[in-house]
Amino acid sequence: MPINRRKFIQQTSLAAGALLATGLLPQDAEASSVTDRITILHTNDVHSRLEPFPQDGSKNAGLGGVAARAALIKDIRSQVKNVLLLDAGDIFQGTPYFNLYRGEPEMKAMAMMGYDAATMGNHDFDAGMENYAQQLQHGKFPVLLCNYDFASTPMEGKTVPYKIFMKGNLKIGILGVGIELKGLVPDNLYGNTLYHNPIEYANKYADILHKEGCDLIVCLSHLGDKYSDDKISDEILAKECFDIDLIIGGHTHRFFEEPRKYFNRRGGHTIVNQVGWAGIQLGRLDYSFSRTKKKNLAEAHTVVIGKNTS
Amino acid sequence: MLTRIATYASVVFLALSCTSAQQTTTLNYRDYKIEKQTKVDSNLIKLIAPYGDSVKLVMSKVIGFTTRGLMKRQPEGELGNFMADCLMEMGEKKFNKKIDISYVNAGGIRSYIPKGEISIGKIFELMPFDNLVVLQEVKGNILLQFLNAVAEKGPGGLAGIKMKIKDKVASNILIDGKPLDANKMYTVCTSDYTANGGGEGEVLHGIKQVNMGYLFRDALMEYVEQITKQGKPVDWKTEGRVTY
């Protein structure tokens, strides 16, 4: 959809007007354009880090912890209206909490923080699928995963490929993809789980979300950001997808300097972001869309990234 | 402030690209570091406190004792021998298979066991990683290359084998009392870290692994408990497995 030149002029003058405080408003500004905003908060690879790292003089001493993260999330929620809180997997494994309680306090903490959705990481299989399925009841959030087939496993029926969230005027479609389990997770822990090509399946489900009229399509991914060989990664998915606007990644424990931007198959931008591990960081992405009131957003998004310094 | 930044970006962008066929979206990002001084949510503190208390209780649980303590040493130390013997014995039990050699990489031994009581927390310090016990069938000629890499980097712990390290090369290798046979297949027990090519394990990378999801740390705890059940201290010695 080409940008409407009139809308462009109006928007520009509206914004400029507001900025310069000239008070010169276009007559039909309200009828022609609206701005919708959504704030996406995200974590990945928290690895059972419920408490901050111990004060032992190491690099991460004092960082992380669910109590501080929860307070920050609450603050942000009180400042902005439309918030989605997401996690890209590997909730489990890494501290004695997991060895003892197999994920129960992790899931309860996420429920308390109000996570909207998560995907599954390879370490979430560590105490078995039956355990994950059982702990999920404490999580109270949907697990999104479109490329694992859990038929005749204890996880059957416990995940959904995608979910649509309505936030204000925005329809946000979220799907999830998981990494190849063979060689990564012991065979006996993933049992009969079938792994399907993440690119093919992510595209298939993103297409469904696109046809559903989603304004923003987000993929939670535990594929890893990129590799030196041709192993499937978020980078490859970003370049090979059609309709995914944003990939919230994990697995590689990478602290991104800034979100990465790729051109997708539709010529629009697909953004990839990841925030390290252990809950040391909370990622925040504020999207804002301007559009004419009666029309859907365009097929492909050109994204201008800026740093929020507020 | 946020709104203003977004508006700016959108104006600038539209001004530059009004011929684009794309929908313009602005995205502002921010990474919050979760630091100690950040305020905390008391509900979450309340939620995890009981779990945390019992984690601390469990970590402090004593599962054995040592009259001498176990240290990591080169080329051979009692701690390395203990851990390698653990792999051998618990590995044979778990996999129900005779193991010829077990190996613990030096980098994977993260602490030591001081004289006195051994708590679960001590085992966690020793092996904080979730390394798994794995078996591989390794041909003698490859095993020799592996042992040379071990000799070069310095062994953590070995069991089932005797060897000399001369000029950072393995020599006088005896497995079950017999010289290494380049054509024989040996069952080797290590951690998945080593078997996946980590550290001195480079030549083991790609060789098929048997993996039962058995954590090395769990094997260590079970081994200590087993020794304690027999009424014995966890005392180990060096016995000339690896010499210069």
Give the model's pLDDT for residue B119.
94
The average pLDDT across B74-95 equals: 97
The average pLDDT across A71-87 equals: 97
pLDDT-based confidence at B150, cuts 50/70/90? very high
Q: Which residues pair with B75 in a beta bridge?
A: none
Q: Does B211 contact chain A (CB < 8 Å)? A: yes
Decide: A88 and A118 in contact? Cβ < 8 Å.
yes
pLDDT-based confidence at B20, cuts 50/70/90? very low
Asked if pLDDT for residue A79 goes beyond 90, the answer is yes
Min CA distance, B38 vs chain A (Å)? 6
Distances (CA, A) of A10 to A13, A19, A26, A260, A285: 5, 14, 6, 31, 26
| Separation of alpha carbons B30 and A283, rounded Å | 6
Q: Does A268 contact chain B (CB < 8 Å)? A: yes
Q: Does A74 contact chain B (CB < 8 Å)? A: yes
The average pLDDT across A197-225 equals: 97
Question: Which ranges in chain A belong to alpha helices (H)?
Answer: 5-20, 29-32, 66-79, 96-101, 104-113, 129-139, 187-190, 198-211, 234-240
pLDDT-based confidence at A302, cuts 50/70/90? confident
pLDDT-based confidence at B19, cuts 50/70/90? very low
User: Across all residues in chain B, what is the average pLDDT?
Assistant: 89
Are A62 and B35 an interchain contact pair (Cβ–Cβ within 8 Å)?
A: yes
The average pLDDT across A129-136 equals: 97
| Separation of alpha carbons A217 and A132, rounded Å | 26
Asked if pLDDT for residue B83 goes beyond 50, the answer is yes
Give the model's pLDDT for residue A298.
53
Interface test with A, best of B8, B18, B29, B125 (most A CBs within 10 A): B29
The 10 Å Cβ neighbour count of residue A38 is 23
Instruction: Give contacts of A104 with chain B, Cβ < 8 Å.
Output: 51
Q: Does B30 contact chain A (CB < 8 Å)? A: yes
Instruction: Give contacts of A93 with chain B, Cβ < 8 Å.
Output: 130
Asked if pLDDT for residue B13 goes beyond 60, the answer is no
Asked if pLDDT for residue B106 goes beyond 50, the answer is yes
| Separation of alpha carbons B210 and B194, rounded Å | 13
Interface test with B, best of A63, A75, A264, A304 (most B CBs within 10 A): A304
Range of lowest pLDDT (A4-8, B136-140, B185-189): A4-8
Are B9 and A306 an interchain contact pair (Cβ–Cβ within 8 Å)?
A: yes
Asked if pLDDT for residue B206 goes beyond 80, the answer is yes
Decide: A286 and A303 in contact? Cβ < 8 Å.
no
Are B14 and A259 an interchain contact pair (Cβ–Cβ within 8 Å)?
A: no
Render pLDDT for A103-116 as a digit per residue (tens, 0 to 9): 999 999 999 999 99
The average pLDDT across B213-240 equals: 96
Are B13 and A112 an interchain contact pair (Cβ–Cβ within 8 Å)?
A: no
Are B35 and A68 an interchain contact pair (Cβ–Cβ within 8 Å)?
A: yes
Are A3 and B24 an interchain contact pair (Cβ–Cβ within 8 Å)?
A: yes
Give the model's pLDDT for residue A299.
62
pLDDT-based confidence at A57, cuts 50/70/90? confident
Q: Does A282 contact chain B (CB < 8 Å)? A: yes
Asked if pLDDT for residue A261 goes beyond 50, the answer is yes
Q: Does A13 contact chain B (CB < 8 Å)? A: no
Are B11 and A108 an interchain contact pair (Cβ–Cβ within 8 Å)?
A: no
Min CA distance, A9 vs chain B (Å)? 9
Angle at A285 between CA A280 and CA A287, to 5 degrees: 175
User: Across all residues in chain A, what is the average pLDDT?
Assistant: 88
Closest CA to A223 of A233, A215, A209: A233
| Separation of alpha carbons B128 and B220, rounded Å | 12
Instruction: Give contacts of A62 with chain B, Cβ < 8 Å.
Output: 35-36
Asked if pLDDT for residue A10 goes beyond 60, the answer is no
Render pLDDT for A35-49 as a digit per residue (tens, 0 to 9): 889 999 999 999 999
Are B36 and A304 an interchain contact pair (Cβ–Cβ within 8 Å)?
A: no
> How much of chain A is in helix, strand and coil states, percent to nearest 5?
30, 25, 45
Give the model's pLDDT for residue A99.
85
| Separation of alpha carbons A147 and A131, rounded Å | 20
Distances (CA, A) of A151 to A154, A193, A222: 8, 7, 21
Decide: A219 and A186 in contact? Cβ < 8 Å.
no
Interface test with B, best of A35, A190, A288, A299 (most B CBs within 10 A): A288
Decide: A270 and A245 in contact? Cβ < 8 Å.
yes
pLDDT-based confidence at B166, cuts 50/70/90? very high
Range of lowest pLDDT (A65-74, A246-255, B111-120, B226-235): B111-120
| Separation of alpha carbons A309 and B3, rounded Å | 12
% chain A with pLDDT above 70? 86
DSSP class of residue B113?
Answer: B
Predicted ipTM > 0.90 = no
DSSP class of residue B85?
Answer: H
Q: Which of B23, B29, B211 sits opposite A297 (nearest CB)?
A: B23
Min CA distance, B8 vs chain A (Å)? 8
Which residue, chain included where needed, has tokens 């081994």? B223
Are B27 and A286 an interchain contact pair (Cβ–Cβ within 8 Å)?
A: yes
- E strand or H helix at A43, and its extent? strand A34-43
Asked if pLDDT for residue A22 goes beyond 70, the answer is no
Are B2 and A289 an interchain contact pair (Cβ–Cβ within 8 Å)?
A: no
Asked if pLDDT for residue B202 goes beyond 80, the answer is yes
B8: nearest CA partner in chain A = A15
Is B179 exposed, middle or buried (CB count within 10 Å of its CB: 0-12, 13-18, 19+)? exposed
CB pairs under 8 A between A and B: 226
Asked if pLDDT for residue B135 goes beyond 80, the answer is yes
Of B58 and A15, which is predicted with more confidence?
B58
Asked if pLDDT for residue A11 goes beyond 60, the answer is no
Distances (CA, A) of A228 to A148, A233, A276: 25, 10, 19
pLDDT-based confidence at A297, cuts 50/70/90? low
Are B20 and A302 an interchain contact pair (Cβ–Cβ within 8 Å)?
A: yes
Are B25 and A302 an interchain contact pair (Cβ–Cβ within 8 Å)?
A: yes
Of B22 and B18, which is predicted with more confidence?
B22
| Separation of alpha carbons A239 and A203, rounded Å | 11
Of A263 and B108, which is predicted with more confidence?
A263
Give the model's pLDDT for residue B3.
35
The average pLDDT across B135-142 equals: 98
Are B51 and A97 an interchain contact pair (Cβ–Cβ within 8 Å)?
A: yes
Instruction: Give contacts of A80 with chain B, Cβ < 8 Å.
Output: 2
Q: Which of residues 224-253 of A touch B (CB under 8 A)?
A: 245
Q: Which residues pair with A85 in a beta bridge?
A: A41
Domains recognised in chain A with CATH numbers: 1-33 (no CATH), 35-304 (3.60.21.10)
Closest CA to B11 of A290, A286, A40, A297: A290
Closest CA to A97 of B50, B129, B38: B50
Phi then psi for A295, rounded to 5 degrees? -110, 155
Instruction: Give contacts of A258 with chain B, Cβ < 8 Å.
Output: 29
Q: Does A20 contact chain B (CB < 8 Å)? A: no
Give the model's pLDDT for residue A34.
76
B193: nearest CA partner in chain A = A184
pLDDT-based confidence at B198, cuts 50/70/90? confident
The pTM (predicted TM-score) of the whole model is: 0.75
